Structure 1
Amino acid sequence: MELRLTQFRPRTGPREHRVVRPRTPLRHTSLRDPAPIGMLMGDHDGLSRLAGLFSFAAHSRHTVVHVPLRDCVPPDEGHGELVDLVLAHSETGLRPSKWPELRRALGRGTPLTVRTDEARTERHARAWLARPYDRGLLRQTTHARTYFLIGGREAFSYAATAFSYAAGWGPRQKRVAEGRSAFMAGLQYELEPTRGGGHPSEVLICFKPYPPYAHFKRPGR
C-alpha cells in the first residue's frame, strides 16, 4: 500500500525526533477515548489507511506516527471524548506527557511517500498469534486528548490486520448502505491490561460509510 505522509523533524532540547502524519486527513474516521471501551469508526478509506499506518509503524522503530482524528466529521454514534492517535515503538523514547511540547514543535513538514509490505505484516502478525504465552503487547494511555499505543513490531502488525479486515469486509455487511455501522474487529488482546484492574480496555473497530448514503453501494450490487 502506498502512503502519502508529511514528515517532521522537531527538536526538543538536544534530541531530534522523526514524526509522520497522513498528508490528507482521515476525514470520516474517528476515535473515542477507550475508558475503558473506545470506538474507532471509519469508512473504507480511513480503515484502509489505518491498516497501512499500523503496518508502517510496525517496521519504523524510530518514527512516531501521529494520526489526527479529533477534527474529523463528528460521528453520530458512540460516547466519549474524541481523541487523536499516536503509534510508537519504545525505542523512540516518546513520553506521552511530553507530547504536547513535541506537537507544538512540528512546524512545516516535508512530503514523504512510503510503501508498506502486506506480506511481511501478515508474517509478523502470524508470529505474534503463534506465541500465546510470550507476546509483546501495546502499552496504552490517553494524555492531552491523544490515545497512545507504544509497543513492538508484531503487536502493531497484528493490529494492522484487524484494520485491513474491517476495511475489506465492512462494505459487505448488511444494512451499511442504510447508514448503519457494523462492528468488524477490535483491539483487546494486543493491549496491556490497565493498572488497577477493572474492565479490560478495548477499542471496537467499526465500519460506516459517510453520508449521503445514496452514494454507497455494497460490493457486487
Structure 2
Amino acid sequence: MRLRLQQFRPRIGPHEHRVVQPRQPLRHTSLRAPEPIGLLLGDHDGLNRLAGLLSFAAYSRHTIVHVPLRDGLPPDEGVGEPVDLVVAHHTLGLRPSKWPELRRKLVNGTSLTVRTDEARTARDAAAWRELWERPDSRDGLRHATHARTFFLSGSRDVFAETAACFAYAAGWGPQHKRVVEGRSALMTALPTLVQEPGGGHPLEVLICFKPYPPYAHFRRPGAESRLGAK
C-alpha cells in the first residue's frame, strides 16, 4: 500500500522526534476511548489506511504515528470520549504526558510517501499469533488515554497483528448484508490490550465497519454484477 503522509521533526529540549500523520484526514473514521469498552468505527477507506499506518508503524521504530481522528465527521453511534490515536514502539519511551507539548509543535510538515509490505506484515502477524498462544507470552498492546488521545505502544509483531485486524475489517466489513442500511458491523477488536491491575471488566476496543451516509452510494461487493446479470 502507498501511504501519503506529512512528516514533522519537533524538538523538546535536546531531543528531536519524528512524527508522521496521514496527509488527508480519515473523515469517516472515529475512535472512542475504552471506558472500559471503546469503539473504532470506520468505512473501507479509513480502516484500510489504518491497516497501512499500523504496518508502517511496525517497521518504523523511531517514528511516532499520529492519526487525528477527532478531525473527522462526528459518528452517529457509540458512547465515550472521541480521541485521536498515537502509535509508537515501546522502545521509544514516549510518555503520554509529553504529547501535548509535542502536538503543539507539529507545524511546517513536509510531504512523505511510503509503501508498506503486506506480505511481510502478514508473516509477522502470524508469528505473533503463534507466540501469543504460549503461556509465558507478554507481547500485548500497552495503552493509555491522555489529552483526548489514545496511545498504543508495543512491538513490531503486535503492531503487525493490529494492522491485520484493520485489514480484515476493511476487507470483510462490506460483505455484511445490513451495512447497506447504514448499520455498523462488528468485525474484530484490537488484539490483547494489556489489562490494568485490580480486575474489573477487561478493557477492549471494538473495530466496526460502517459506510458513510448517504447510504445510497454504498453497494456490497458483487451487488452490481448480480444486478447486471438480471
Q: Tell me the TM-score normalized by structure 1.
A: 0.97
CA distance in 2, matches of 1:157, 1:200: 22
Aligned residues of 1:188 and 1:201 also touching (Cα < 8 A):
no
- How many residues matched? 220
Report the CA distance between 1:193 and its aligned residue: 1.0
User: Cα deviation per residue 1:189-212 (whole Å; 9 max; x = unaligned)?
Assistant: 2x1112332111111000000001
1:136 to 2:139 alignment: yes
State the Cα distance separating 1:217 from its structure 2 match.
0.6
Query: Superposed, which structure 2 residues align to 1:141-160 within 5 Å?
Result: 141-160=144-163
Residues 1-45 of structure 1: CA distance to partner in whole angstroms, max 9, x if unpaired?
Answer: 000000000000000000000000000000001111100000000
Q: Which residue of 2 aligns with 1:180?
A: 183
Equivalent position of 1:51 in the other structure: 51
Q: Distance in 2 between matches of 1:160 and 1:24?
A: 19
Letter in 2 for 1:136: D
Query: What is the aligned counterpart of 1:215 among 214, 217, 222?
Result: 217
Alpha-carbon distance in 2 for matches of 1:198, 1:26: 33
Whether the 8 Å CA contact 1:128–1:135 is kept in 2: the answer is: no
Provide the C-alpha distance between the structure 1 equivalents of 2:72 and 2:152, rounded to a whole number of angstroms. Answer: 20
Deviation at 1:188, TM superposition (A): 4.2
Measured on the aligned residues, the alpha-carbon RMSD in Å equals 0.9
**Structure 1 range deviating more: 196-205 or 62-71:** 196-205
Which residue does the alignment assign to 1:2? 2
Quick check: which has more Rg, 1 or 2? 2
Q: TM-score, normalised by structure 2?
A: 0.94
Q: Verify: 1:162 aligned to 2:155, yes or no.
A: no
The residue aligned with 1:98 is: 98
Identity rate of aligned residues, in percent? Answer: 70
Preserved contact between residue 162 and residue 191 of structure 2 (Cα < 8 Å): no
Point out where structure 2 has 5 or more consecutive residues left out of the alignment. 224-230
